[in-house]
């Protein structure tokens, strides 16, 4: 498996000739961040437009139950986590569409239901807690070559999806009826976007953990909204924030011996603060 | 116009919309005539926006909505243009007017840049509406009147057969309102689309609409503007205290007012 990755390792040696990037597990961690952070930020731009931060949080927490189900059924937890995340995303979107209840209400119901299910399973199965640790806080430094390839595939799929769907998703976020009058099939687009968000969220959990995964999607896009006026600069600012905080977070966590996922999120939050200050300095308060 | 008088662009037969166990609209029969301006009036909660959404296919309904395309517009399904009352966008949303145009006109994603063609098209459409100067402004920071003219420019770009306008002058100041209506009159004369206009403002209705549909969950009455807008029908719709030419939201009947005859 690692034979596929050796050219990428060599490239990293050339681009980042620093001590923290030397060990192979660090190279894998850096590659993982370079793949998953921009994918999460790119999906985060329309996500924030849609006010779906809570949705991505609910999907993230459903992973808790997905992992528990995997251990219970004897299937690899990564598979059940992704599958369960996709199921919850689909269910929330369907129930929201059918009942006409407000999104946060539907998400609130699902959020607590999946967590309750997860806790019920874990409390019945002694010895499960140890397995969960890596998912709660993320375990970037233990990522395998196979997972890197999965992340690369996902990153590519997200790029292809956004290439074709980005414009329509943003239009749908501005006004559903108006988008529909332009021939956009709102419901299908909403479901496909929810599923893509679920894929990105469940994959990113390996990097930063269940508790922090929403940050990877929301903070870069939120920082971009502080400074960008147009769609082009908003998108690329979000990507830049995600990459900068990802690399800086890995480097700092290596030297400070802190949890990698949390350190990355702290750097992203610092960049959010910087953009907020820039905004205030420009005299734009509202 | 066809020699046989105006044909129908839109025929609504026995349309009902139910939601949450309540009948929002019941047994609506109405025709929107080709090339005419039809105003849809009624009190708050009368189901005006719901009717527009049903025409757009955005809410489930029973009954029938038939689109008939006038011959001079060619073959195929008619295009519906739609100008919503407001949009769901934060003031700070990173989206310019040009971005908004490009979202619907270019194939590749807007984050890769806006094509020259998008910009030229947007300039032309906005210029026609007299709002060319807004092209690089943020969409969320436009005033209500500016936003509606941008939305109108976008809705007109595809040469619609039917244009649905939801409260076109809400949120606009008086001069903006007149500009908007004049512009609408002008493009309507040029392109002869059928216009369905939701309005609370009876002065706008009497000046611009040839036909009126009065709605209060069911059709109260419909016909030529001069025949329909009588104190009796308005009373039936808004309650007996309402008068056509009294400017009296204070009487508890909402936005009914007729600015001109005051």
Q: DSSP secondary structure string, B16-31? A: EEEETTEEEEEEEEEE
- Of A267, A31, A256, nearest in space to A151 by CA: A31
State whether the Cα torsion B197-B176-B123-A222 is positive or negative. Answer: negative
Window 196-255 of A: residues touching B by CB (8 A cutoff) are 224-225, 228-236
Are B125 and B24 in a shared domain?
A: no
Token pair for residue B67?
């689109």
Please write the tens of the pLDDT for every residue from A36-92: 999 999 999 999 988 888 999 899 999 889 988 988 888 888 889 999 999 999 999
Picking from B158, B179, B202, the residue at the C-terminal end of a domain is: B158
Does the CB of A97 have a partner CB in chain B at under 8 Å?
A: no
Does the CB of A2 have a partner CB in chain B at under 8 Å?
A: no
Identify whether A286 is part of a domain: no
Residues 6+ apart with CB under 8 A from A11: none
Identify whether B261 is part of a domain: yes
- Of B101, B55, B58, nearest in space to B195 by CA: B55
- Using a CB–CB cut-off of 8 Å, the residues of B that contact A are 19-20, 52-53, 56-58, 80-84, 87-96, 98-100, 102-104, 106, 108-114, 138-139, 151, 155, 158, 164
Mutation target to probe the A interface, by most A beta carbons within 10 A, among B17, B80, B99, B103 is B103
Q: Which of B56, B57, B103 sits opposite A167 (nearest CB)?
A: B103
- Whether B238 has a pLDDT exceeding 90, the answer reads no
Which chain A residues contact residue B113 at CB under 8 A?
232
A163–B109 C-beta distance less than 8 A = yes
Window 34-53 of A: residues touching B by CB (8 A cutoff) are 45, 49
3-state SS assignment for residue A215: helix
Helix A129-137 crosses helix A77-99 at what angle (to 10 degrees)? 70
Please write the tens of the pLDDT for every residue from B11-69: 889 999 988 778 889 888 888 887 888 989 888 888 888 899 898 888 889 998 888 76
- Whether B84 has a pLDDT exceeding 60, the answer reads yes
B92–A166 C-beta distance less than 8 A = no
Q: Cα separation of B226 and B223, whole Å?
A: 8
Picking from B141, B158, B175, the residue at the C-terminal end of a domain is: B158
CA distance A21 to chain B (A): 31
Are B240 and B176 in a shared domain?
A: yes
Q: Cα separation of A133 and A209, whole Å?
A: 9
Q: Which of A166, A181, A229 sits opposite B110 (nearest CB)?
A: A166
β-partners of residue B169 are none
A230–B99 C-beta distance less than 8 A = yes
Are B57 and B139 in a shared domain?
A: no
Q: Cα separation of A48 and A264, whole Å?
A: 20
B106–A167 C-beta distance less than 8 A = yes
List C-alpha distances in Å: A266 to A31, A207, A248.
19, 14, 10
What pLDDT score does A173 carry? 87
The CATH number for B262's domain is 3.40.50.300
B80–A167 C-beta distance less than 8 A = no
Identify whether A114 is part of a domain: yes
A180–B58 C-beta distance less than 8 A = yes
Are B119 and B179 in a shared domain?
A: no
How many domains is chain A partitioned into structurally?
A: 1
B19–A231 C-beta distance less than 8 A = no
CB B5 within 8 A of CB B17: no
Please write the tens of the pLDDT for every residue from B106-157: 889 999 999 899 999 999 989 888 889 999 999 988 888 888 889 888 888 8
Domain membership of residue B92 as a residue range: 88-158
Are B152 and B178 in a shared domain?
A: no
DSSP B63: E
Q: Which of B20, B57, B88 sits opposite A174 (nearest CB)?
A: B88
Mutation target to probe the A interface, by most A beta carbons within 10 A, among B76, B102, B108, B109 is B109
- Of A19, A21, A18, nearest in space to A8 by CA: A21
pTM recorded for the entire structure: 0.83
Identify whether B11 is part of a domain: yes
Spans of chain A, pLDDT less than 70? 1-2, 285-286
The CATH number for A44's domain is 1.10.3470.10
How many domains is chain B partitioned into structurally?
A: 2
Are B148 and B178 in a shared domain?
A: no
Are B140 and B167 in a shared domain?
A: no
Residues 6+ apart with CB under 8 A from B111: A45, A162, A166, A231, A232, A234, A235, A236
Token pair for residue A205?
């959990």
Residue A83: count other Cβ atoms within 10 Å of its Cβ. 16
Please give the torsion angle defined by the CA atoms of residues A86, A88, A93 and A95, in that order, rounded to the nearest 10 degrees. 150
What pLDDT score does A1 carry? 59
Identify whether B1 is part of a domain: no
- Of A57, A41, A85, nearest in space to A210 by CA: A57
Domain membership of residue A29 as a residue range: 2-281
Cβ contacts from A onto B, under 8 A:
93
Which chain A residues contact residue B104 at CB under 8 A?
167, 171, 182
What pLDDT score does A7 carry? 82
Rg (CA), chain A: 19
DSSP A143: -
Picking from B158, B174, B191, the residue at the C-terminal end of a domain is: B158
Does the CB of A100 have a partner CB in chain B at under 8 Å?
A: yes
- Whether B250 has a pLDDT exceeding 50, the answer reads no
State whether the Cα torsion B59-B65-B66-B72 is positive or negative. Answer: negative
pLDDT tier for residue B86 given thresholds of 50, 70 and 90? confident
pLDDT tier for residue B255 given thresholds of 50, 70 and 90? very low
Please give the torsion angle defined by the CA atoms of residues A188, A190, A196 and A201, in that order, rounded to the nearest 10 degrees. -150
Q: Which of A166, A180, A230 sits opposite B109 (nearest CB)?
A: A166
- Whether B176 has a pLDDT exceeding 80, the answer reads no
Residue A244: count other Cβ atoms within 10 Å of its Cβ. 16
CA distance B214 to chain A (A): 23
Q: CA-nearest residue of chain A to B136?
A: A230
Q: Cα separation of A247 and A42, whole Å?
A: 17
A182–B87 C-beta distance less than 8 A = no
Q: Cα separation of A126 and A220, whole Å?
A: 38
Are B142 and B183 in a shared domain?
A: no
Are B106 and B150 in a shared domain?
A: yes
Are B190 and B240 in a shared domain?
A: yes
Are B122 and B149 in a shared domain?
A: yes
What pLDDT score does B97 carry? 94
């Amino acid at each position: 498996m690692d034979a596929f990755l050796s050219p990428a390792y060599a490239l990293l040696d050339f681009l980042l000739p620093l001590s923290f990037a030397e060990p192979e597990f660090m190279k894998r961690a850096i590659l993982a961040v370079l793949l998953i952070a921009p994918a999460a930020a790119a999906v985060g731009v329309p996500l924030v437009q849609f006010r779906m931060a809570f949705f991505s949080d609910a999907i993230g927490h459903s992973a808790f139950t997905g992992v528990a189900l995997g251990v219970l059924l004897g299937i690899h937890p990564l598979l059940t986590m992704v599958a369960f995340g996709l199921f919850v995303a689909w269910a929330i979107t369907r129930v929201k569409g059918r009942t006409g209840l407000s999104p946060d209400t539907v998400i609130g119901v699902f959020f607590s239901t999946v967590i309750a299910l997860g806790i019920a399973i874990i409390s019945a199965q002694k010895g499960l807690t140890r397995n969960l640790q890596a998912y709660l806080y993320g375990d970037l430094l233990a990522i395998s070559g196979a997972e890197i390839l999965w992340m690369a595939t996902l990153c590519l799929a997200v790029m292809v999806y956004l290439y074709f769907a980005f414009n329509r998703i943003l239009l749908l976020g501005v006004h559903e009826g108006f988008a529909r009058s332009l021939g956009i099939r709102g419901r299908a687009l909403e479901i496909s976007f929810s599923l893509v968000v679920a894929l990105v969220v469940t994959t990113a959990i390996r990097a930063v953990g269940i508790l922090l995964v929403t940050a990877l999607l929301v903070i870069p896009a939120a920082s971009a909204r502080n400074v960008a006026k147009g769609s082009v600069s908003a998108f690329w600012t979000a990507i830049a924030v995600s990459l900068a905080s990802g690399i800086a977070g890995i480097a700092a966590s290596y030297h400070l011996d802190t949890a990698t996922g949390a350190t990355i999120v702290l750097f992203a939050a610092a960049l959010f603060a910087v953009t907020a200050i820039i905004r205030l300095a420009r005299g734009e308060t509202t | 116009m066809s020699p046989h008088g105006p044909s129908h662009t839109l025929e609504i037969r026995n349309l009902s919309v139910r939601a949450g166990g309540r009948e929002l609209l019941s047994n609506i029969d109405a025709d929107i005539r080709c090339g005419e301006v039809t105003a849809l009036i009624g009190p708050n909660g009368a189901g005006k926006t719901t009717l527009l959404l049903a025409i757009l296919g955005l809410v489930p309904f029973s009954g029938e909505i038939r689109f008939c395309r006038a011959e001079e517009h060619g073959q195929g399904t008619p295009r519906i243009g739609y100008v919503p009352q407001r949009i769901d966008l934060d003031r700070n949303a990173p989206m310019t007017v040009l971005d908004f145009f490009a979202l619907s006109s270019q194939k590749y994603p807007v984050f890769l840049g806006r094509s020259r063609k998008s910009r030229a098209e947007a300039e032309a459409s906005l210029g026609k509406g007299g709002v060319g100067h807004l092209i690089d402004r943020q969409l969320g920071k436009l005033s209500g009147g500016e936003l509606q003219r941008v939305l109108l420019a976008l809705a007109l770009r595809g040469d619609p057969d039917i244009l649905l306008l939801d409260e076109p002058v809400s949120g606009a100041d008086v001069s903006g309102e007149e500009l908007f209506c004049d512009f609408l009159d002008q493009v309507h004369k040029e392109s002869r689309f059928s216009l369905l206009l939701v309005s609370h403002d009876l002065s706008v209705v009497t000046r611009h609409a040839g036909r009126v549909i009065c709605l209060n969950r069911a059709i109260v009455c419909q016909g030529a503007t001069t025949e329909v807008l009588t104190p009796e029908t308005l009373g039936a719709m808004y309650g007996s205290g309402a008068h056509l030419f009294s400017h009296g939201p204070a009487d508890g009947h909402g936005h009914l007012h007729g600015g001109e005859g005051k």
